[in-house]
Structure 1
Amino acid sequence: MKKYIILILAIISMIYVFTSVKAEDTIIPDEAIRFRVIANSNTIYDQNIKVQLKNVVQNKIFELTKGTETIEETRKILKDNIDLLDNLTKETLKNLGYDKNYKINYGYNYFPKKKYKSVTYKEGMYESLVITLGTGEGDNWWCVLFPPLCLVEADESTTSDAEYTFFIKEIIDKYTK
């Protein structure tokens, strides 16, 4: 009887695995606006500057876009406030004692292929607000502004591998010992 239960569970698991969403499927819709901050380098100092700037600019963007319901609304707000965001970036970097140059760009920008939490995001040109600090050779942080998925952070410097266990294997181990 135990063998039949194990066999049935194994078959159900295989059906689930082959019919479920693949890890390569993205959770970001085609119509999205991203926000990305690229550090000058991977030194602790440059990464710290990136995070502090990201926090300030992201908070301002959330304040500006709060309550928007369409991509068009979000796009218009970002375009209308690009100078405000540029000045905020300049002032924040000055207050942090950061003396390297930076670039801020709203438009279609290149994003490399990225794997995060078992989801692969394809490389390509995406509508986005990008702030590049210095030479832009450091790790970056990015999120999706619209739809507002910024709760799912994509910070290369803080991602870690998760430990996965398999339910069926645990059951088999439990009943075969």
Structure 2
Amino acid sequence: MLTDYNIKRKGSRREIWLAILPFIQFMLLLIALQCALILLSGTAGEEAKEAFRVRVIADSNTAQAQQVKAGVAEEVNRVLGRAGLTDPSGIEALIPEMTLAAEAVSGGAPVRVTVGAAFFPPKVLDGGMIPQARTDSLVVTVGSGRGDNWWCALFSDVCEPGEVAAEEEETEEEPVTFFIVEWLKSLFG
């Protein structure tokens, strides 16, 4: 005859759920923190969503065409800055002056300046996301306009002139500090 022995089960469903519960709580906490960060940082680009934008499109992607584009962008910014506009509706009056200034630095390439709705792709800005949209903007096209774009939002401090911004970021780099390390130093030092 066989001896009787008790069969031990690995655990009831309740025990399994009680073991998994801390992990589920931790994951829900992480999701809640992520949502809070998205909500808090998503407002950083709100001003840029409504800002009047300037778009300068180069003739091509060659180095010379990109230099011409940078020069045209500087001239357009100079004309806009000198005008001191407080309302984007006055930009249409500046189109002839912007066209002449841009053609002076375009190296003989024709320049078209238009005001109206233009498509802008999504962009991450100051921790916030600006969704893609058709927004009122000033579009300056140099030559055939087959090059990469230069983006700027007028009436806010948001510009992205490419290499110039990268050089400024390198020169203004601050040393990295960690909150916990600094806090421990303040406690013990």
Normalised-by-shorter TM-score class? 0.5 to 0.7
Larger helix share, 1 or 2 = 2
- Bigger relative contact order, structure 1 or 2, given CA contacts below 8 A and separation 6+? 1
- Superposed CA deviations along residues 31-67 of structure 1, whole A, max 9, x for unmatched, are 4211121222332211111111111121111111x2x
Q: Mean Cα displacement is larger for which, 156-165 or 41-50?
A: 156-165
Letter in 1 for 2:160: A
Aligned twin of 1:132: 141
Which residue identity does 1:26 align to in structure 2?
Answer: G
**TM-score normalized by structure 2?**
0.61
Query: Structure 2 vs 1, CA of residues 88 and 120 (structure 1 numbering), >3 Å: closer, same or farther?
Result: same
Q: Does 1:78 align with 2:87?
A: no
CA-atom RMSD in angstroms: 3.6
Change (3 A) 1:31 1:152: closer
Between stretches 134-143 and 37-46, larger displacement belongs to 134-143
Q: Kindly indicate whether the alpha-carbon contact (under 8 Å) linking 2:51 and 2:153 is maintained by their aligned counterparts in 1.
A: yes
Correspondences of 1:155-174 after superposition (within 5 Å) = 155-158=161-164, 160=166, 167-170=178-181
Alpha-carbon shift at residue 29 of structure 1 (Å): 4.9
Report the secondary structure of 1:86's partner residue: helix
* Cα pair 2:57 2:69 within 8 Å, conserved: yes
Residue aligned with 2:98, SS: helix
Aligned partner of 1:51 among 62, 66, 70: 70
State which of 102, 106, 109 in structure 2 corresponds to 1:89. 102
The alignment's TM-score, normalised by the length of structure 1, stands at 0.65
Distance in 1, matches of 2:122 and 2:183, equals 37
Offset at 1:172? 8.1
> Which stretches in structure 1 are left out of the alignment for 5+ residues?
1-13
Report SS of the residue matched to 1:42.
coil
The answer on whether the counterparts of 2:60 and 2:145 sit within 8 Å (CA) in structure 1 is yes
Q: Identity of aligned pairs, percent?
A: 24
Structure ID, larger Rg: 2
Structure 2 CA distance for aligned equivalents of residues 156 and 81 of structure 1: 25
Q: Distance in 2 between matches of 1:171 and 1:98?
A: 57
Tell me the residue number matched to 2:56.
37
